[in-house]
């Protein structure tokens, strides 16, 4: 990539070369970046061969017909976050290569249309249009894939002009919405619909119509004033002709009962994947799982991420059991400051559970939990302390993948562990494990991560982990490489950032299957004891990860900071 200084001190120009197959000619892209430079008009002497022009975050309020005439190769034009009030699309009639035009976050009130046949991405969202700015010329842009729109009033007639376009994404970024004609959204022909709502919007009718519109629906900014609970249609929770199978709700702030009502509505639709991010709920909890109809659903996955509560005392059985009684395949509740979780007393169908970034304690495993089909369990970043308790729960599952990283876990030698035979990958990193953890491992484990613990050595009297292929012991307190007498199939070993002074060659004699070894960033003592290890790298065909930058002498002082490859230890002086 070559940097060229423009004649304008506030615009930078960057050339980049992209080549595809070796037989095709190289394609040069020239980017001119004039963003955030307080421009009030388009500079006149920009490089005419520019292909990407960024004029965002300036003070432009008007575009002239002549501003872009000279840019015959222009493909991408970014004009977002300016003060433009009127847009004449004919301004770009000579930019035959233009594919991407972003005029979002301006003050547009009107658009004079002109068909740009090659345009694929057009964004007019977050502007001040009274109605959605579409017309016959918009419908002639047959190559459009992504279309961003806005308007204070949305009517069926606005979308009928573009109903024949097969769009990938329609983005409605709305500053205000004073009127919505029911039935307008389903006129669109798009795979994904994303709506960003203004305050005080009738969320309910947009949710219903949105789910009749696209396979993927995303709605952002749903607040307590969104007129959800007060809308008369909430009494009818049946939605016919729904298309949406993937539903995203972002930045949700509602009463608990309204949130539960959303779940109940979505439960009986075509939605299979339902994700809510950045959700806050408050108010008293009146409705619970006893009022929820769990029948007749195609739902498979529910994800709640970044959950906040505005109420201090939460009836746990009302909130937690609502989700665990859903008995779906995949459930995520993460970043929720959740201190506990309750499960029904009968067997569930869960295959994937993710309760990462909460404050769950050992209490969650002290009652019998029946999950015979569970294959993946993620409990990263909680307050768990006893590994054997987790193993007793896991022993009654079909668990294959377990993540217990970033907890407070330890293992005492006299505690029994009952892992299932199916468990093959475990992440136990960033806990408080000592050497005894090796006495509480599943027999068939294949991939094991124990980095960032307090392990000093691998005990000699542990069971043979004959299936173990990858072992991560980085950031511990090992003083020597572990042998492979208990891990005959080990092929990947990471022991970087330990206390290993001189790696023993006995390791290489017992670990014939190891193909990848990371011993970097250890405090190597560069004496004759290390000579054979240094020589080994020359014949190992790249086995050492991070060689040679991460392999540096710590001792003796006269060699401190020297890379191992540069240390000269003559055979005659070491014999």
> Could you report the average pLDDT of every consecutive run of 10 residues in the chain (575 residues)?
38 63 55 95 91 97 93 96 96 94 98 92 98 92 96 96 97 96 97 95 92 98 67 60 97 89 93 97 74 92 93 70 92 95 92 98 92 97 97 95 98 91 98 96 97 95 90 97 90 97 86 93 94 83 90 95 91 78
Contact between 548 and 563 under an 8 Å Cβ cutoff? The reply is: yes
Q: Per the domain annotation, does 121 fall within a domain?
A: no
Length of the chain: 575
Of the residues 310, 330, 350, the one at which a domain ends: 330
68: exposed, middle or buried (C-beta count within 10 Å: 0-12, 13-18, 19+)? Answer: buried
Q: Per the domain annotation, does 177 fall within a domain?
A: no
What is the pairing mode between strands 12-18 and 27-33?
A: antiparallel
Of the residues 66, 85, 112, the one at which a domain ends: 112
Same domain, 203 and 319: yes
Structural domain boundaries, residue 240: 197-330
Phi-psi region of 79 (alpha: psi -120 to 50; beta: other; left: phi over 0): alpha
Residue 16 confidence (pLDDT): 65
Same domain, 342 and 451: yes
| Alpha-carbon Rg for the chain in angstroms | 31
Same domain, 300 and 262: yes
Same domain, 305 and 346: no
Q: Per the domain annotation, does 178 fall within a domain?
A: no
- CATH number at 38 reads 3.80.10.10
Q: Per the domain annotation, does 493 fall within a domain?
A: yes
Residue 414 confidence (pLDDT): 81
Task: Using the Cα atoms of residue 367, residue 372, residue 373 and residue 374 in order, give the sign of their dihedral.
Answer: positive
Instruction: From 374, 307, 352, select the one nearest 334 (Cα to Cα).
Output: 307
H or E segment and range at residue 194: strand 190-196
- Structure-block tokens of residue 563: 């890379």
pTM for the structure as a whole: 0.91
Task: Using the Cα atoms of residue 264, residue 269, residue 275 and residue 278 in order, give the sign of their dihedral.
Answer: negative
- Structure-block tokens of residue 281: 């709920």
Q: Per the domain annotation, does 373 fall within a domain?
A: yes
Same domain, 219 and 300: yes
- Structure-block tokens of residue 279: 């959700």
Q: Per the domain annotation, does 162 fall within a domain?
A: no
- Structure-block tokens of residue 66: 């002549």
Residue 5 confidence (pLDDT): 33
- CATH number at 276 reads 3.80.10
Instruction: From 364, 400, 397, 367, select the one nearest 383 (Cα to Cα).
Output: 364
Same domain, 214 and 324: yes
**What are the backbone dihedrals phi and psi of residue 28, each rounded to the nearest 5 degrees, phi first?**
-95, 130
Residue 426 CA to chain centroid, in angstroms?
Answer: 21
Same domain, 427 and 493: no
Q: Per the domain annotation, does 356 fall within a domain?
A: yes
Same domain, 446 and 479: no
Contact between 441 and 465 under an 8 Å Cβ cutoff? The reply is: yes
Same domain, 203 and 324: yes
Residue 312 confidence (pLDDT): 57
H or E segment and range at residue 111: strand 110-112
Q: Per the domain annotation, does 281 fall within a domain?
A: yes
Same domain, 491 and 449: no
Q: How many domains does the chain have?
A: 4
Same domain, 321 and 351: no
Same domain, 316 and 344: no
3-state secondary structure 510-529: HCCCCCEEECCCCCEECCHH
Of the residues 390, 421, 455, the one at which a domain ends: 455
């Amino acid at each position: 990539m070559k940097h060229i200084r423009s004649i304008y001190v506030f615009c930078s120009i960057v050339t980049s070369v992209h080549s595809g197959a070796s037989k095709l000619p190289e394609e040069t892209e020239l980017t001119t970046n004039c963003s955030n430079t307080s421009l009030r008009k388009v500079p006149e002497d920009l490089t005419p061969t520019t292909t990407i022009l960024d004029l965002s975050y300036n003070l432009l309020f008007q575009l002239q017909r002549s501003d872009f005439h000279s840019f015959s190769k222009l493909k991408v034009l970014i004009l977002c976050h300016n003060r433009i009030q009127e847009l004449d699309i004919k301004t770009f009639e000579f930019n035959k290569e233009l594919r991407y035009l972003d005029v979002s976050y301006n003050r547009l009130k009107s658009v004079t249309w002109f068909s740009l046949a090659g345009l694929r991405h057009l964004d007019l969202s977050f502007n001040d249009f009274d109605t959605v700015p579409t017309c016959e010329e918009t419908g002639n842009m047959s190559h459009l894939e992504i279309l961003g729109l806005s308007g204070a009033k949305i009517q069926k007639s606005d979308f009928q002009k573009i109903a024949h376009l097969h769009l990938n994404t329609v983005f409605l970024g709305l500053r205000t919405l004073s009127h919505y004609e029911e039935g307008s959204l389903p006129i669109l022909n798009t795979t994904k619909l994303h709506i960003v709502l203004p305050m005080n919007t009738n969320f309910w009718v947009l949710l219903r119509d949105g789910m009749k519109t696209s396979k993927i629906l995303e709605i952002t900014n749903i607040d307590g004033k969104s007129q959800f609970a007060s809308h008369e249609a909430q009494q009818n929770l049946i939605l016919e002709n729904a298309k949406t199978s993937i539903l995203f709700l972002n930045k949700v702030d509602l009463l608990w009962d309204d949130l539960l009502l959303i779940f109940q509505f979505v439960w009986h639709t075509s939605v299979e994947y339902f994700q809510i991010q950045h959700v806050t709920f408050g108010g008293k909890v009146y409705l619970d799982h006893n009022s929820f109809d769990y029948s007749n659903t195609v739902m498979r996955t529910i994800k709640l991420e970044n959950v906040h509560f505005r109420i201090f005392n939460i009836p746990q059985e009302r909130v937690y059991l609502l989700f665990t009684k859903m008995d779906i395949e995949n459930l995520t509740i993460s970043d929720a400051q959740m201190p506990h979780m309750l499960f029904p007393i009968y067997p569930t169908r869960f295959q994937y559970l993710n309760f990462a970034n909460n404050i769950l304690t050992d209490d969650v495993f002290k009652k019998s939990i029946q999950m015979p089909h569970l294959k993946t369990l993620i409990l990263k970043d909680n307050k768990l302390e006893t590994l054997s308790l987790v193993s007793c729960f896991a022993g009654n599952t079909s668990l294959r993948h377990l993540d217990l990283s970033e907890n407070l876990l330890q293992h005492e030698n006299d505690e029994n562990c009952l892992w299932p035979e199916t468990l093959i990958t475990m992440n136990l990193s960033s806990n408080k494990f000592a050497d005894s953890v090796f006495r509480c491992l599943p027999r068939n484990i294949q991939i094991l991560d124990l980095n960032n613990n307090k392990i000093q050595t691998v005990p000699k009297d542990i069971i043979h982990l004959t299936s173990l292929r990858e072992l991560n012991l980085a950031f511990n307190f090992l003083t020597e490489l572990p042998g492979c007498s208990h891990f005959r199939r080990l092929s990947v070993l990471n022991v970087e950032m330990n206390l290993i002074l001189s790696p023993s060659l006995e390791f290489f004699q017992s670990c014939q299957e190891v193909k990848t070894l990371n011993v970097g960033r250890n405090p190597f003592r560069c004496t004759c004891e290390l000579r054979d290890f240094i020589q080994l790298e020359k014949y190992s065909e790249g086995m050492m990860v991070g060689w040679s930058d991460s392999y540096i002498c710590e001792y003796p002082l006269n060699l401190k900071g020297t890379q191992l490859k540069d240390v000269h230890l003559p055979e005659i002086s070491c014999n």
